[in-house]
Structure 1
Amino acid sequence: MKKRAAVMILLVVSLLLAACSDAASEAETSEINIGYFPNLSHGPAMIGVENGYFEDSFNEINVNLQHFPNGSVFMDALSTGQIDVGYVGPGPVINRYLQGGNVVMIGNASRGENVLVVRNDLDYTNAKDLDGKIVATPSTGCTHDLLLRKMLQEEGMAVEENGGTVKRLAQAPASMMGLFEQKQIDAALVSEPWASLMEAQGIARVVVDADEVPWDGDLAASVLVARKDFLEENPDIVADFLEANEKSISYIAENQAKAVEKMVDHIEEITDQRLEKTVINSALDRVVYDSTVNPSILQEFSDLLLELGFAEDDSSLEGLFQ
């Protein structure tokens, strides 16, 4: 009788512990924090917000959205738990991963879209014409910065940080507009829709298109990431996030005109800049929305980080992809 009572007590305790564990798990996943940029490469994120795909996917879980000016700030927010998942360029992700960051790559959103633009009053034939010039990128170590350095490297050149003669200036794309007009920068490696906007306003022109930069436009422009601990604790929620991304990509492919309108509205809401639909349509010619991750190209990209001094002794991405 005593033995049966002991068994019953253990069973009740186990059930209580399981209930507490479930309650704790629910508490941990009562909200999801998603980060992204107001760039066309993050189009699936913007459509996911505008069409309510994120809200619909997570049922009773609160969805908090945060937008960022560059990948470095995004990765800081991910590392400190301010966001759980999101959209960001591959450069900051790989850079942080090689430094031991708590990040995993879980999918893809887009590729292409990154171009080199120069001021309209400057001549440009090839990268050698950037000798002694000031070239802007959104931040240090971002995808655009690394593409610039790779482009220069292929011509036997380098930015000043790597012992070369090209001065690199970190600036938000919106700020580059005024700097071009004031002739404080000569060129920039930027993403869309900024390149098309600069062309439309007559302050700069594209001289190296998206399919002409290193990796011929096949390098990911925006990937999906998560904190490793968040993925391990919430695999179903992350799966729902990936499903919402797929819905957004399908919507853009099947309803481009409507998608353009929604992205124009969304970008204006964040940046206070109203882009013409013609600008967005021009920009979309350089962007491919695709959820497929290409590990081999990303490994080559990581090897470049090591070569340029952004990583210390290992560029292996084993463990990054989930």
Structure 2
Amino acid sequence: MKRINTILILMLMVTGGVFLAGCTSQEDTEEVPDVSTLNIGYQPSTHQLAYMTAKEKGWWEEDLAPYGVENVREYEFPTGAPEMQSMLAGDLDVAYVGAAPFVATLASDLDAKIVAAANSQGSDLVLRPDIAYEGPDDLKGLDIATFPPGTIQDTILRNWLKDNGIDPDNDVDIKAMGPGDAISAISAGQVDAVFLPHPAPTLIAEEGNGRSVVYSGEMLPDHVCCVVVVSGDLIRNHPDLVTEIVKTHIKGTEYSNENQDEVAQLYADRQGWDVDVIRASLEDWDGQLIADPTIIAESTVDYAQIQYELGYVNEEFTRADMFDMSFYEQATAE
């Protein structure tokens, strides 16, 4: 009897092991369902013309359809901070956003990577016409409106002030505002200056409410501004789709650079701006529309260090923490 029981136990162990192994194999080979709806976040500045151009041309839907995408939903944000909070909550698959708010949210365990650049430079410090300016010392005692803490504009402005011996917390009053509120504030004389991305500086100047005195490229030469961020879920489970997203972004970037007058009209119609203001902005700014992430990698690492020194994040991030260059490499190799 003892021998029979032993044999039965061994048979159960063997057959059970085969069954369990079969279950594991089935789970491992289970296909990940297609992404039928892709959610993209962006901000309405000319820094992100590549996204808007591709959207107006219908390229997002057309290019991504072969990968199962049936609907591309866009979500507009005034600044990068709320956009990154939306991505952190899992509501966005792709984000056109400033590198600085991406870094700040990475510190909150955001599962995402930068897969492409969007633009460099392209913001201006604008003073009211009646305020004299010969150098940074003239800013002492002024009220300056810019995007909220943790954004590109806030980071660059504070770092530049510190580099010029001005305490950003005590020598000036930096007021956090979205672009619309900041434009209204300087126009109404409620603030003395703004530091905003284009096309806002050109609009303020065209209306006679201010003049650009410092370009962001003078504050931090060749600095990264906006980037293309993709969720970790897409990167791990839909790499071919991510490569196509990067291809469409590259197409939007190249077309925007080669057809400036047309995309100025596309932007003006889309956002309700005067096209002459947009054309002037694209002529006047120091920004560049780019896609290659290697161009902005070092600058992004510098941002992360500045964020750390300003106390916005409590850890130092490396290039590997922030970037996945492989999708751009694949997109440009084919």
Of 236, 239, 243, 2:240 maps to 236
1:156 aligns with 2:160: no
Over residues 282-305 of structure 1, what are the superposed CA-to-partner deviations in whole Å (9 max), with x where a residue is unaligned?
Answer: 221322111122211111111111
How many pairs does the alignment contain?
Answer: 299
Where structure 2 has 5 or more consecutive residues not aligned to the other structure, the ranges are: 1-14, 325-334
Stretch deviating more after TM superposition (53-62 or 277-286): 277-286
Partner of 2:173: 167
Hey, what's the Cα distance between the residues in 2 that align with 1:228 and 1:92?
17
Query: Larger deviation: 98-107 or 73-82?
Result: 98-107
Aligned with 1:279 (options 277, 297, 309): 277
Q: What amino acid is the match of 2:260?
A: Q
Matches within 5 A, 1:118-267: 118-160=127-169, 164-214=170-220, 216=221, 218-267=222-271
Mapped partners of 2:55, 2:225: distance in 1:
19
Shift of 1:19: 11
What aligned pairs does 1:33-72 form with structure 2 within 5 A after superposition? 33-59=39-65, 60-61=68-69, 62-72=71-81
The alignment partner of 2:227 has SS state of strand
Q: Which amino acid aligns with 2:201?
A: A
| Contact 1:177/1:203 (8 A) holds in 2 | no
- Which of 307, 310, 314 aligns to 1:308? It is 310
Q: Is the 8 A contact 1:113 1:283 kept in 2?
A: no
The Cα shift of 1:26 comes to 2.0
* 1:261–1:277 CA contact under 8 A, matched in 2: yes
3-state SS of paired residue (2:213)? strand
What displacement does 1:317 show? 4.1
Q: Secondary structure at the match of 2:279?
A: helix
Q: What residue identity is the alignment partner of 1:34?
A: I
The CA distance in 2 between the partners of 1:110 and 1:204, in whole Å, is 25
Instruction: State, as a whole percentage, how many aligned pairs show the same letter.
Output: 24
Query: Deviation at 1:179?
Result: 1.0
Query: In the alignment, residue 136 of structure 1 is paired with which amino acid?
Result: A
Cα deviation, residue 197, structure 1:
0.5
Cα separation, 2, equivalents of 1:316 and 1:241: 24
How many Å apart are 1:87 and its aligned residue?
0.3
Distance 2:203 2:142 in 1: 22
Cα pair 1:131 1:165 within 8 Å, conserved = yes
Q: 1:73 matched to which residue of 2?
A: 82
Instruction: For residue 246 of structure 1, report the CA deviation from its aligned partner.
Output: 0.8
Q: 2:102 aligned with 1:93, yes or no?
A: yes
CA distance in 2, matches of 1:155, 1:104: 33
Q: Matched residues in 2 for 1:278 and 1:316: separation?
A: 42
Amino acid at match of 2:254: S
1:77 deviates by: 0.7
| C-alpha separation in 2, matches of 1:64 and 1:251 | 22
Whether the aligned pair in 1 keeps the contact of 2:88 and 2:105 (CA below 8 Å) is no
Q: Deviations over 1:53-107 (max 9, x none)?
A: 1001111412111111110100011011111112001110111123432221111
- Structure 1 residues 19 and 103, CA gap change in structure 2 (3 angstroms): closer
Residue of structure 1 equivalent to 2:114: 105
TM-score (norm 2): 0.84
Asked if 1:115 is matched to 2:121, the reply is no
Query: Relative to 1, partners in 2 of residues 1:233 and 1:182: Cα closer, same or farther, differing over 3 Å?
Result: same
Q: Distance in 2 between matches of 1:181 and 1:256?
A: 28
SS at match of 2:33: helix
Query: Which residue in 1 is equivalent to 2:289?
Result: 289
CA distance in structure 2 between the partners assigned to 1:35 and 1:21 by the alignment: 30
For residues 237 and 188 of structure 1, the distance between their equivalents in structure 2, rounded to whole angstroms, comes to 39
Task: Report the equivalent of 1:272.
Answer: none
**Distance (Å, rounded) in 1 between the aligned partners of 2:186 and 2:86:** 30
SS for the counterpart of 2:50 is helix
Residue 226 (structure 1) shift: 1.3
Contact 2:141-2:171 within 8 A present in 1 as well = yes
- Distance in 2, matches of 1:210 and 1:168, equals 16
Aligned letter for 1:308?
L
Q: What is the TM-score of this pair, normalised by structure 1?
A: 0.87
Write out per-residue CA displacement over residues 84-141 of structure 1, whole angstroms, 9 at most, x where no aligned residue: 1120011101111234322211111111211111111111111111111111112111
Aligned counterparts of 1:34 and 1:125: Cα–Cα separation in 2 = 42
- The question of whether the paired residues in 2 share the 8 Å contact of 1:127 and 1:151 is answered with no
